[in-house]
Amino acid sequence: MPVQKRAAAAEVGAPPADTRHRLKSIFGGSIGNLVEWYDWYVYAAFSLYFAKSFFPNGDATAQLLNTAAVFAVGFLMRPIGGWLMGLYADRYGRKAALTASVVLMCFGSLIIAMTPAYATIGILAPILLVVARLLQGLSVGGEYGTSATYLSEMATKERRGFYSSFQYVTLIMGQLLALAVLLLLQKAFLTPAELESWGWRIPFFIGALCAVCALYLRRNIEETEAFTVKKARQPKENLLKALLRHPREILTVIGLTLGGTVAFYTYTTYMQKFLVNTVGLTKDQSTLISAAALFIFMLLQPVVGALSDRIGRRPLLIAFGVLGSLATVPLLTTLSQTKDAWTAFFLIMAALVIVSGYTSINAVVKAELFPTNIRALGVGLPYALTVSIFGGTAEYFALLFKDMGHESGFYWYVTGCIAFSLAVYALMPDTRKTSRIDAGH
């Protein structure tokens, strides 16, 4: 930046232009992330209402199993998205990849919003639903690694945990917006019959429109300095081969993600159905409880992220691993047996406080593991593979265990996944001290 401009900014008491650009770009990247995750979570929030439209045969649990299976299918595309968008981000820039991912999400939402019901077009309806989720899975698969890389590279060393935590702030905010739209339609505008008939399409149209707005914001964000400098110095190479030269880092991403993603999807995406299908609360009650818990969970992310800038990343990951391994079975068992909405809220909130030790910092930890030339690919691909196998199937396994009459088996499954990640947390270095972003690689 020219010295004259810096001096002029200082004279009028304004923050330096690079600081303003950094904050503007972090905001633009975060808002785009919010829209992406709103579109992704609308499916889960409204599946209770549109399940009959696409899968008319069977009881309520069978219909939810079908929609959960399609939800899981969308996760199968996430590794491909992590691979393609990671390559694209590391070759052509973080900004270009972030822009492309939001376009794909827009198309996926439009397809779901406009697809006629099974009664109108038969088997083509669930087929189009699958196609739309595949597009959205491709988009989200590329979004995570690229946005984690972008936010981590844009942040300063001293506040990297804090700024990168906004990836999950906006991720959770996207889920909250999906629930807010559901609450608004439930309470103010539509009857349950109208929601099941056609009202569930409204949030998907909203998502497509918001994606267009996010596209505009992302076209005006700055490229990261780390990528710009590396691109000028680095000769072109096969990025997948370059990634394979870092097997320890790849395995670390897989291991630290496994327990966290299962816990996250259990206590967020699946909880709304668990409260209705197992606890016996109404759909309205489950939506309110989920929204309130998620709101507090969202506010916790920057607090815990800032804490990691002071005490390190590893102590927080270990805290999640220990508490998650010890508390999961008691929490879910007690929750399944309660009939009180307030008790359910506090139990879910306790679980989400524990999960914050993972969610608030997992993005920056992964970004700090890899050099600049393969950072987006290194973060995105192994993460997406792990989330597809374990996170995307968490809800399906939960419903399957319930359908088999052994619901408590799922509680032990979640515990086992967290315990596995705890072993990784205990052995890995603290990336705040060994960050490859700071090393300038």
| pLDDT tens digits, one per residue of 322-339 | 999 999 999 999 998 888
Range name among 5-14, 33-42, 113-122 with the lowest pLDDT average: 5-14
What is the residue whose two structure tokens read 């890899």? 370
Distance CA 273, CA 268 (A): 10
Q: What is the mean pLDDT of residues 298-315?
A: 92
Tokens of 61: 């649990």
Highest mean pLDDT among 52-56, 230-234, 396-400: 396-400
- Look up tokens 């596995």; give the residue: 420
What's the mean pLDDT in 407-431? 91
Token pair, residue 268, equals: 């967020």
CA-angle at 377, arms to 376 and 383, nearest 5°:
95
Name the band, by pLDDT with cuts 50, 70 and 90, for residue 63: low
> Higher-confidence residue: 305 or 198?
305
Read off the pLDDT of each residue in 223-247 and give the average, rounded to a whole number: 75
| pLDDT band with cut points at 50, 70 and 90 for residue 3 | very low
350 confidence band (pLDDT: 50, 70, 90): very high
Kindly compute the dihedral angle of the four CA atoms of residues 360, 362, 368, 373, in this order, to the nearest 10 degrees.
-120
Full 3-state SS string of the chain: CCHHHHHHHHHCCCCCHHHHHHHHHHHHHHHHHHHHHHHHHHHHHHHHHHHHHHCCCCCHHHHHHHHHHHHHHHHHCHHHHHHHHHHHHHHHCHHHHHHHHHHHHHHHHHHHHHCCCHHHHCCHHHHHHHHHHHHHHHHHHHHHHHHHHHHHHHCCHHHHHHHHCHHHHHHHHHHHHHHHHHHHHHHHHCCHHHHHHCHHHHHHHHHHHHHHHHHHHHCCCCCCHHHHHHHHHCCCCCHHHHHHCCHHHHHHHHHHHHHHHHHHHHHCCCHHHHHHHHHCCCHHHHHHHHHHHHHHHHHHHHHHHHHHHHHCCHHHHHHHHHHHHHHHHHHHHHHHHCCCHHHHHHHHHHHHHHHHHHHCCHHHHHHCCCCHHHHHHHHHHHHHHHHHHHHHHHHHHHHHHHHCCCCHHHHHHHHHHHHHHHHHHHHCCCHHHHCCCCCCC
Closest CA to 418 of 385, 378, 391: 391
Is a pLDDT exceeding 60 seen at residue 427? yes
In the predicted model, what is the mean pLDDT of residues 82-86? 87
User: What domains are there in the chain, each with its CATH number?
Assistant: 25-223+246-434 (1.20.1250.20)
User: What's the pLDDT tens digit per position in 169-189?
Assistant: 888 888 888 878 888 888 778
pTM of the predicted structure, to 2 decimals: 0.80
For residue 164, what are its two tokens?
């990168």
Tell me the backbone φ, ψ of residue 155, rounded to 5 degrees: -80, 155
Total residue count of the chain as it appears in this document: 441
Type of residue at 263: A
Q: Is 191 helix (H, G, I), strand (E, B) or coil?
A: coil
- What gap in Å lies between CA 50 and CA 117, rounded to an integer? 9
At 126, which amino acid appears? P
Rg of the chain over Cα atoms, rounded to whole angstroms, equals 21
Maximum average pLDDT range among 140-149, 150-159, 293-302: 293-302
Unique residue bearing structure tokens 């490229």: 223
What are phi and psi for residue 330, nearest 5 degrees?
A: -60, -40
Structure tokens at 172: 């959770």
Average pLDDT over residues 196-201: 82
Angle between helices 94-114 and 78-92 (to 10 degrees): 150
